[in-house]
Each structure stands twice: as structure tokens, then as C-alpha cells.
Homo-oligomer: A and B are copies of this chain.
């Protein structure tokens, strides 16, 4: 299979243009649950310039299958959050120095299961268990490397929001402001259950080979990964949106009702939609990385080892928070954002994105509803 998109980045540049890949070598990283990665590469991208005081740096943290390309690069307009991050946007790259790392354990340049282990072969099944706390731990090195005293703001949505909250709890003196969007303080039973099903889908694929599939001639465990993505995607959208967009329509000229031959059944439009979502992801994402990050997300509990969520968040007086939820989100329930504000010190209330589409609302044009609260937070 083509392992190219999953290989850890090797590009280095002393003064790169906005939105170009950079890599920081961290050396060894001790992991929260006892593992050790002897050589970690941290991929990241930046936009704008750090001011003389090192005080205008904004850390943007991506979601499960995201990457460091938050805003547009020198020759593209592919930034996944370009509605919010860029010149003249609410996170204005002419004012802020925006820094976006790729998560540890993923496949967007930072060391992950597809990266070479010390023996030169991909880590594969040998990649250790990592947590969101380990991701923050790896990213901490960016401060010294870039000459930043503390982040002006740390911001993320979905898993990125969970990462932001971990940053705040792990390094409160390094975080001035923190924006947690469509996320939670700890993964719930429901979120763990949905994750387990996705993990099992990948492991069920006969091409998974226990995680050591990189030398296969075929395309690897793309069916299992696609199956996981179908379920994940369903949780990112609302029932109402699916109903309005697809209803019971057939896909094109296909006949979903089937014929006498069950194997030749055509698809409903919503099936084709899920197929498309699966196909898009498997072309850009590594199955082991999906496993690694999904299990990290299952482990998410900002209160772990800190006396619980209330204690972990209750002591963060020095940080100004923005907590936002999508009203129709059925994966990261609005109640979970309410739980965060209830645990935080001071007067914080949840800002709502009103959108019928569900969790993905924080990524779509609906996210522009975050502009007023973000302006308030950013000052």
C-alpha cells in the first residue's frame, strides 16, 4: 500500500511561509501510561509573526482526523478552519501568531503508528498507547522552540477542544485564554461505546493484520476504517439533517429495494453518502492512527489524577474561558459543555452555535456564529 501520506514529515525550514509544513524533533517522550517513544517528530504549521513580547501566539488544536493545516497555505486555500483563521478573520493572522501542531499518534506528520520505529520499520502494532495528555506534553516543546512565554489563546473543537482543556489543566501558567468548542471534560459511556465499535470495525478487517499491514500489496484495512468512519460521520450529523437531505431516496438510478438477488441490491442516497464519506477518509488517513487517536479520546478525562473534573477545572482561575456547543450536537452533548462551565471558576456561560446539522456545526459556515464570543475572548 501507499504509505506516503502517513509518513512523518521531514521538511525543515528556518523561516517558512505561512501554512507550510515544519517539524520539530523532540527526542524521547515518556508517556502517561508508561510507554516511551525514543524519537518524536512534531509536525506543525504557523501563520503570522510572534510579537516582541512573545504574547500573541494562538495554539489551534485539530479534531480526530484533522491536521496542522488550519488556514490557507502559500499556494492553496485548503485550510480546514479558514472561515475563522486567516488574514482579517476573527483569529486574524495579521495580529496573531497562529501555531497548529498535528497530534501525536496520528498520521499528519507528527510521530504515529505509521512512523518508523528504531528498527526502521513502521511502529504498527508496537506503537504505544498515547493519551490527550501525551499530545499536550509533546506540544509543550513548541513554547521554548518558538520563544513563546505563554499562549495568548489555546483553541480547539471536538477532540481539539478536549486537547485545549488538557493544555489548560496541564500547563495553566502557559495558557492565558482557552476556547473549548463542541467538546467535553471527559468522554462519556456513550462516547466510549461509539469509539469501541469503531476500533472493533478496524480490527475486524482481515487486511488489518493485527496492525502490521504496511507491507501489504493491497490497500490495507480500508474497509474497516471506512466502516468506522461511517459510524463516526453519522454521529457528527443530526438525524434531521440526514432526513431532509436524503430521506428514502434511491441513489441515482440504483434500486435499493433490491431484486430477487439480494447481492445486487442498489443503494439509498444516504448509503452512497456514507460510502463517500468513508472513501474520502481512507484516502487520507491511516487505520492505526485512527485507532490510536480514538483510544486516546476514549481515555479523555481532564480530572484523571487531579481529583476529578471539578477539582481539575475549579482551580483554573488564571485562565479566561470560552465554552461553546452546537445546540443539535448528539455526540458532544450541550450538557457536556454546561458541565464544563459549572466546574470552572468565575462566571462562564456556554455560547451556542444554532445549527440543525449537529456536531459538525463547529466546522461549517455556522461556526461564524463564534465570531462575537471569540472577539470577546481574544480582546
A residues touching B (Cβ–Cβ < 8 Å)? 31, 33-36, 125, 127-129, 131, 186-190, 192-194, 196-197, 200-201, 204-206, 210-211, 223-224, 227, 230-231, 234, 239, 242-243, 245-248, 256-263, 265, 268-271, 274, 291-292, 295, 298-299, 301, 304, 333
Contact = CB atoms under 8 A, between A and B. Distances in A.
B128 A270 contact: no
Nearest to A275: B196
A196 B271 contact: yes
A208 to B, nearest CB: 10
Contact of A260 (B128, B211, B265): B128
A257 B193 CA distance: 15
Copies per complex of this chain = 2
B197 A234 contact: yes
Nearest to A246: B189
A258 B33 contact: yes
B270 A192 contact: yes
Contacts of A259: 33-35, 129
A260 B34 contact: yes
A197 B299 CA distance: 25
Nearest to A206: B206
A3 to B, nearest CB: 19
Contacts of A190: 234, 239, 242-243, 270
Contacts of A304: 257
Contact of A270 (B34, B189, B247, B262): B189
A188 B234 CA distance: 13
Q: Which of A31, A210, A261 has the most CB of B within 10 A?
A: A261
A174 B206 CA distance: 50
- The SS class assigned to the A binding surface is helix
A134 to B, nearest CB: 11
Contacts of A261: 35, 128-129
Nearest to A231: B197
Given A192-B271, A200-B223, A265-B295, 11 more contacts: A34-B260, A129-B260, A129-B262, A189-B239, A189-B247, A189-B270, A193-B242, A201-B227, A211-B263, A258-B295, A262-B291
A284 to B, nearest CB: 20
A126 to B, nearest CB: 8
Closest CB pairs A-B (n = 6) = A35-B260, A129-B258, A206-B206, A189-B242, A189-B270, A189-B246
21 contacts: A33-B259, A34-B260, A35-B261, A36-B260, A129-B260, A131-B257, A189-B239, A189-B246, A189-B270, A190-B243, A193-B270, A193-B271, A193-B274, A196-B268, A200-B223, A200-B227, A204-B204, A257-B299, A258-B295, A258-B299, A268-B298
A258 to B, nearest CB: 4
A92 to B, nearest CB: 38
Nearest to A304: B257
B189 A204 contact: no
A35 B33 CA distance: 57
A307 to B, nearest CB: 15
A47 to B, nearest CB: 34
Contacts of A129: 257-262, 265
A128 B271 CA distance: 21
Q: Which of A35, A210, A248, A260 has the most CB of B within 10 A?
A: A248
B248 A128 contact: no
